[in-house]
C-alpha cells in the first residue's frame, strides 16, 4: 500500500465498487455502466467532473439551497454560471415545476446543460419520492430528445442514508442511464459517508450513457480521459486508503457494521422529527422537508439566520451553518440522540435572545 | 484519523514539516517562510500551484529534458506555454548560458515568468553545483530587479538524495527566498520520495517572499488562498496519511530509517557509475551527468530511443522511459545493486539487436 496506485484506482476496488453500485441500484439491472475511476474523495469527483466537462460560461443547474463548495468549484474555479431553481414547494415537496421551468429556460439559451442532482440533499436532508425522481428523469430525457446535450450528474455523497418509506431508495443515476444518446449520466459517490471514512478520501466517478451497439469502447475512452485528468491533478489517490476500503468491503462484518451506523443516524433523524413536533417551536421556525442524509434545515420566521448562527456559537458554543438569510442547517448526524432536544431548545433560546 | 483533516492540512504536521525544511536548508537560517499547506502528493502541489498562479498563455520555463506530467499540468490543463532551454552543456555541466538566454528571451515578451526548478532532476538525476545554483538565483534576481515578476518554483520531489560532494545540498528555494519583492519562491515537496511513502499522497506547498516589514500577513493570505484551492479541488488530503507521516517523523527511528534507505539508493547510483565506466558501452551511448535522485539518462548514438524502449520491453521485459528520440531514462532506484550490470548489458544487447 506504500507503492503508487494507478491513476485509475486499484482494479480490485474499482470492480468491487461497480458491483456494489449494481447491488444498491436495482434500475441498473441489465444496463451497462463504466468502471468507476477512483478520486480523492467526492469533492475531487466533482472538481474532476468540472475539469473534464465544464467550460467557462457553461450553465450549471442547481437548487437554491446547496452546498457552498459547488460555488467554489463551478463558479470560482471553472468560470461557469450557476443557475438556481427553488427546491421546495409551499407544501414541502420537491418543486418539479420550478425545476422544469429552469431547465426549459436554460435550454433556450444553451445547447449543453449541466444538471447537478444531489439526493440525499445537502443541506436540507431531502430525497425525492419515486414520482418526483421519475419526473426529473423525464424532464431531462425530453430535453435530450429535443436536441439539448445533458450532463446529468448525481452527487450521491449521502447515498443509502434513507430513513423514510416514501423516498426513492436508489440513485437517479440508475434511471438516467441509457435514456438518450444526448444524455450522459455521471455518478459521483464515495466511501466518505457511505462507508463512514471521512478522512480516507476515496471517491468514485462512474459514467452511464446510451450508445448504438456495445458501449465498452465509449466507457473505456471516458475512463482513460478521467484517469488522465487524475494524473494531471494528483497523480493518484492514496493507495493505503484504497486498500483499507477494499479490505473492509470484502470483510464479512462490512454490511453489519454499516447497518449499525445507519441505525444510529436513523434514530437521530427520528428523534429530530419527534422533538420538532412540539408546537412550542412553531412561532420560531418552519421545518423544511427531510427524510435522509446528515442534515435538516429550519426556516426562521423572526430572526436572521447568520445573526443567530453567530449568537449560538458565541453564547452557547453551538455550531450550525446559515444557508442564507432565513435558513439554518442542523447536522443532526453528529448529535447524540439524547442531546437533540437540548440542541433545539438552545436554538429556540437563541431566537428568543435575539427577539428581545 | 478517520475524521476530515483541515484543507490546510493538520497543524502539527505543517509545523513539523516547516521545522524540517529549516533543518534541511541552511540558507533559510534567519529567513521567514510560510507554513506549508498539505497537498495530496507533489503532483497535487504542482497542479495547485498552476491553478492559483498560472493563467492561459503564461510562459513556464523548463529544461528540454523534463517530467512528462509538467506538460499535462501546464499545457493541457492550464493552457500555458512551456518554453524550454537546453539543460546540459557539451561538457556535462548545467547550461547556465542557455538558461539565462531563455529567461532573457521570455522576459522580453512577458512581464511574468514561471520558472520550474527541479533538482534532483527528473529524468537526468542531476543536481546543480554550488556555483550553478547561485548562478540560477542571480539570473532570476536580476530579472526581478529589472521589473519582471518571477515565480520561481522548486519541485523538490527527490530532495535529499544527493550522492556526490560537488552538488548543492539544499533546495534553491532557500536561496531564492527574500531576494526581491518581485520574486516569489514556491517550494513543492513531500513525503513521497523523501520519506519513501509513495502511496500515502502527502505533499506540501510553501512560500518564501520578500516584503517590507513583517511578512506574516502575506504568508497568511497565501496559505488561505492555497487552502481555498485545496478545498475547491479535493476538500482535504487523507487524514490517515497525514497522521502516519507525522507519527513517523516524531519517531526516534525516523532519521535512522531514512539514512538506511538513502544508503541503498546511493550504492545503486555508485554501482551505475562503476558499471558504465566500462568502455564497451561507449559506442552505444553517452552518459548524461547524474549525481542524485532516482534516475539517470543515456544518450543513444546509433538507435532511436523509443524503438529501443519497445524492443527492450517486448524482448527482455525491461521497462525504461524514452525522453525523446535520443534519450532513455533508467530508474536505477528500483534496481537491485547486483542486477545493475545485467540491466546495462541487456540495454547494450538491445542496441546491438536493433543495429543488425
Judge whether residue A117 has pLDDT over 90. yes
Phi-psi map region of B293: left, alpha, beta (phi>0 left; psi -120 to 50 alpha): left
Mean pLDDT score of chain A, rounded to an integer? 97
Q: Which three cell numbers stand for residue B59?
A: 510562459
What's the confidence (pLDDT) of residue A343?
98
For residue A198, the chain B residues in CB contact (below 8 A) are: 2-4, 239
How close is the nearest chain B Cα to the Cα of A142, in Å? 32
In the prediction, which pLDDT does A208 show? 98
**What would the DSSP string read from start to end of A112-168?**
EEEEEE-SSPTTT----BHHHHHHHHHHHHHHHHTT-EEEEEEE-TTTT-B-STTB-
The SS3 call for residue B299 is strand
What is the per-residue pLDDT for B1? 62
Mean pLDDT of A310-327: 96
Q: Is B267 in the A-facing interface, judged by CB distances under 8 Å?
A: no
What is the C-alpha separation between B71 and B328, in angstroms, rounded? 18
> In whole angstroms, what is the distance from residue B270 CA to residue B161 CA?
13
Residue the block writes with cell 512528462 = B68
- Among residues B292, B297, B242, which one has the least CA distance to residue B9? B242
- CATH 3.40.50.2300 assigned to domain A254-355? The reply is no
Q: In CATH, what number does B11-250 get?
A: 3.40.640.10
- In this complex, the residue of B1, B3, B41 whose CB is nearest that of residue A235 is B41
CB contact under 8 A, A77 and B233: yes
Q: Is B277 helix (H, G, I), strand (E, B) or coil?
A: coil
Query: How far is residue B201's CA from residue A204's CA, in Å, rounded to a whole number?
Result: 17
Compute φ and ψ for B332, nearest 5 degrees: -65, -20
Among the partner-chain residues A73, A198, A232, the one whose CB lies closest to the CB of B73 is A232
Q: Is A7 on the interface with B (CB under 8 A)?
A: no
> Roughly how many angstroms between the first and final C-alpha of chain B, as a whole number?
59
Q: Where in chain A is the domain with CATH 3.90.1150.10?
A: 254-355
The DSSP code sequence of B68-132 is THHIIIIIIIT--EEEEE--B-TTSSB-HHHHHHHHHHHHTT-SEEEEEE-SSPTTT----BHHH
Residue A91, Cβ neighbours under 10 Å: how many? 7
Give the pLDDT of residue A152: 98
DSSP 8-state symbol, B337: G
Q: Smallest CA–CA separation between B29 and chain A, in Å?
A: 32
Chain B residues lying within 8 Å of A201, measured CB to CB? 40, 234-238
Task: Pull the grid cell for residue B89.
Answer: 552543456
Output the pLDDT for position B258. 96
* Torsional sign, CA B50, B21, B247, A6: positive
Q: In chain A, which residues have their Cβ closer than 8 Å to the Cβ of B188?
A: none
User: What is the model's pLDDT at position A244?
Assistant: 97
Q: How far is CA A67 from CA A117, A122, A265, in A?
A: 12, 6, 20
Helices (H), B159-233: 172-176, 191-194, 216-231
Residue whose C-alpha is closest to residue B28's, from B138, B178, B132:
B178
Whether residue A240 lies within 8 A of chain B, CB to CB, comes out as yes
Q: Per-residue b/e over B38-59, b at no fewer than 16 CB within 10 Å?
A: bbbbbbbbbbbbbbebbeeebb
Residue B232 DSSP class: T
Of residues B73, B197, B231, nearest to A69 (C-beta): B231
Residue B240 to residue A240, Cβ atoms within 8 A = yes
CA B329 – CA B68 distance, rounded (Å): 12
Which DSSP category does B313 fall into?
I
pLDDT of residue B356: 82
The boundaries of every CATH 3.40.640.10 domain in chain B are 11-250
**B4 and chain A: CB distance < 8 Å anywhere?**
yes
Contact between chains at A199 and B41 (C-beta distance less than 8 A): no
- C-alpha span between B323 and B285 (Å, rounded): 14
Each of the 356 residues of chain B gets a pLDDT tens digit; together they read: 689 999 999 999 999 999 999 999 999 999 999 999 999 999 999 999 999 999 999 999 999 999 999 999 999 999 999 999 999 999 999 999 999 999 999 999 999 999 999 999 999 999 999 999 999 999 999 999 999 999 999 999 999 999 999 999 999 999 999 999 999 999 999 999 999 999 999 999 999 999 999 999 999 999 999 999 999 999 999 999 999 999 999 999 999 999 999 999 999 999 999 999 999 999 999 999 999 999 999 999 999 999 999 999 999 999 999 999 999 999 999 999 999 999 999 999 999 999 98
Asked if pLDDT for residue A356 goes beyond 90, the answer is no
For B237, which of A196, A201, A235 is closest by C-beta distance? A201
- Total residue count of chain A as it appears in this document: 356
Is residue A231 within 8 A of residue A37, CB to CB? The reply is no
By Cβ distance, the residue of A5, A44, A231 closest to B69 is: A231
Q: Please give, rounded to a whole number of angstroms, the shortest distance from the CA of A323 to a CA of chain B.
A: 18
* Spatial strand order in the sheet of A81-85: A37-39, A203-208, A183-190, A149-155, A112-117, A59-63, A81-85
Alpha-carbon distance of B129 to B133, in angstroms, equals 6
Task: Output the CA–CA distances (angstroms, integers) from residue B294 to A234, B82, B122, B164, B194, in the order listed.
Answer: 20, 24, 8, 14, 11
Residue A1 has pLDDT above 70, yes or no: no
Give chain A positions within 8 Å (CB) of B54: none
The pLDDT score that the predictor gives to residue A295 is 97
H or E element at residue B184: strand B183-190
Which residues partner with A204 through β-bridges?
A: A38, A189
pLDDT over 90, % of chain A: 99
Nearest-CA distance from B48 to chain A in Å?
Answer: 8
Residue A2's pLDDT band, with cuts at 50, 70 and 90, is: confident
Cross-chain residue pair B43–A4, CB shorter than 8 Å: no
Q: What distance in Å separates the CA atoms of residue A231 and residue B187, rounded to the nearest whole number?
A: 20
Kind and range of the H or E run holding A59: strand A59-63
Helix (H/G/I), strand (E/B), else coil: B328 = strand
What is the bridge-based pairing of β-strands B37-39 and B112-117? unpaired
Q: Is A287 helix (H, G, I), strand (E, B) or coil?
A: strand
pLDDT of residue B174: 98
Q: B248 contacts in A (CB within 8 Å)?
A: none
pLDDT of residue B2: 86
Minimal C-alpha gap between B3 and chain A (Å): 5
The per-residue pLDDT for A62 is: 98
CB A208 within 8 A of CB A185: yes
Are residues B234 and A201, on separate chains, in Cβ contact within 8 Å? Answer: yes
The whole-angstrom separation of Cα B50 and Cα B34 is 18
Q: Does B73 touch chain A (CB under 8 A)?
A: yes
Closest to B195 (Cα-Cα) out of B141, B244, B128: B244
Amino acid at each position: 500500500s506504500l507503492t503508487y496506485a494507478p491513476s485509475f484506482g486499484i482494479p480490485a476496488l474499482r470492480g468491487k465498487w461497480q458491483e456494489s453500485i449494481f447491488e444498491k441500484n436495482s434500475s441498473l439491472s441489465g444496463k451497462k455502466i463504466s468502471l468507476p475511476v477512483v478520486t480523492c474523495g467526492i469533492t475531487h469527483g466533482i472538481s474532476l467532473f468540472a475539469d473534464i466537462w465544464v467550460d467557462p460560461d457553461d450553465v450549471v443547474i442547481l437548487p437554491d439551497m446547496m452546498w457552498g463548495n459547488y460555488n467554489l468549484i463551478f463558479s470560482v474555479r471553472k468560470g461557469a454560471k450557476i443557475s438556481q431553481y427553488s427546491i421546495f414547494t409551499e407544501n414541502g415537496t420537491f418543486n418539479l415545476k420550478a425545476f422544469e421551468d429552469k431547465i426549459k429556460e436554460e435550454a433556450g439559451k444553451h445547447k449543453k446543460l449541466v444538471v447537478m442532482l444531489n439526493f440525499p440533499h445537502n443541506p436540507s436532508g431531502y430525497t425525492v419520492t419515486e414520482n418526483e425522481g421519475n419526473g426529473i428523469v423525464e424532464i431531462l430525457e425530453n430535453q435530450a430528445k429535443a436536441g439539448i446535450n445533458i450532463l446529468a450528474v448525481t452527487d450521491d455523497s449521502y447515498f443509502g442514508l434513507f430513513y423514510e418509506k416514501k423516498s426513492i431508495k436508489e440513485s437517479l443515476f440508475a434511471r438516467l442511464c441509457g435514456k438518450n444518446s444526448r444524455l450522459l449520466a455521471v455518478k459521483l459517490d464515495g466511501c466518505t459517508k457511505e462507508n463512514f471514512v471521512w478522512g480516507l478520501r476515496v471517491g468514485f466517478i462512474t459514467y452511464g450513457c446510451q450508445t448504438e451497439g456495445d458501449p465498452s469502447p465509449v466507457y473505456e475512452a471516458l475512463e482513460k480521459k478521467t484517469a488522465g485528468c487524475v494524473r494531471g491533478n494528483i497523480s493518484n489517490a492514496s493507495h493505503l486508503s484504497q486498500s483499507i476500503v477494499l479490505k473492509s468491503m470484502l470483510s464479512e462484518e462490512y454490511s453489519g457494521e454499516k447497518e449499525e451506523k445507519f441505525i444510529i443516524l436513523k434514530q437521530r433523524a427520528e428523534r429530530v422529527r419527534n422533538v420538532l413536533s412540539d408546537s412550542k417551536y412553531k412561532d420560531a421556525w418552519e421545518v423544511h422537508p427531510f427524510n435522509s442524509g446528515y442534515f435538516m434545515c429550519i426556516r426562521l420566521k423572526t430572526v436572521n439566520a447568520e445573526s443567530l448562527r453567530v449568537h449560538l456559537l458565541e453564547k452557547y458554543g453551538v455550531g450550525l451553518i446559515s444557508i442564507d438569510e432565513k435558513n439554518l442547517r442542523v447536522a443532526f448526524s453528529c448529535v447524540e440522540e439524547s442531546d437533540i432536544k437540548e440542541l433545539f431548545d438552545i436554538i429556540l433560546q437563541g431566537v428568543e435572545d435575539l427577539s428581545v
